[in-house]
Structure 1
């Protein structure tokens, strides 16, 4: 059982480069944590099309944007109209999503959490999910804009 969990953002990457990065790090399942699983700018990253691309490369796809998305519909998750990650982390839907990620990891599947923002420094996948997992003993590895791994983010 591995305690490694990767994160990745697609940003302006092509689907080919994105999949090459997933293959480089031997990702077996991609968990989409976008609140809204579509892209206005790149149709390859709309959930259904993305899932087809991944299936064609033997990578599983799972959408957990309702549970782990950075813009929840629950208005109790906001303070002064800003998303409050501590409030989200106290919600049942977040706990359900995190438990799903942990269970998948415990099954031995090499996992990556995906959002649209390429840099983990500016994305909820780091501040909301990655920091939470790291505080609970996971080795969170962020695939950065240039494809390298960032372990320590400040």
Structure 2
């Protein structure tokens, strides 16, 4: 099953939607804690719903269970915990949430996990896919778009 990930920072709207369209993404799965931030520009939830439908013939779904909590995210962003500590806390959170039981496979098939980080290396969207591959039978083939 093909799944993609993408971050919206360091991308123009044209670049962002072109990547999604060329990859035949069917569903953009928003895994951000805050999907209405003024800093998000074209990536606010209502704008995304419209642009995805019109440009990519794709759907938009916000899945906050695949996002870190404020208690995990803020200390990392503020430099109070390391990436390793953040990763450990987020992996434990996904396990407590049993995301492998709640995520519908059809949501991920040709789906794309959205977050803000430009690259996936130090972003929770990568951790979500890796966690699901380790703890479910989904057998996801991941492609990071950037």
* TM-score relative to the length of structure 1: 0.73
Please state whether the residue corresponding to 1:35 is helix, strand or coil. coil
Which of 139, 142, 145 is the matching residue for 2:141?
139
Q: Which has the higher helix share?
A: 2
Partner of 1:27: 25
Distance in 2, Cα, partners of 1:140 & 1:133: 11
The aligned runs of 1:4-153 (5 Å cut-off) are 4-57=2-55, 58-64=57-63, 66-70=64-68, 72=69, 83=86, 84-92=89-97, 94-95=99-100, 97=102, 99-100=103-104, 102-105=105-108, 109-127=109-127, 129-135=128-134, 136=136, 137-144=139-146
Residue 66 of structure 2 contacts residue 94 of structure 2 at CA under 8 Å; is this kept in 1? Answer: no
Give the gaps of 5 or more residues in structure 2: none
Residue 4 of structure 1 contacts residue 141 of structure 1 at CA under 8 Å; is this kept in 2? Answer: yes
Q: Higher relative CO (CA 8 A, sep ≥ 6), structure 1 or 2?
A: 2
Give the gaps of 5 or more residues in structure 1: 145-154
* TM-score relative to the length of structure 2: 0.77
Distance in 2, Cα, partners of 1:115 & 1:40: 15
Residue 133 of structure 1 contacts residue 140 of structure 1 at CA under 8 Å; is this kept in 2? Answer: no
Residue 31 of structure 1 contacts residue 111 of structure 1 at CA under 8 Å; is this kept in 2? Answer: yes
Aligned length: 131
Q: CA deviation at 1:36?
A: 0.4
Please state whether the residue corresponding to 2:5 is helix, strand or coil. strand
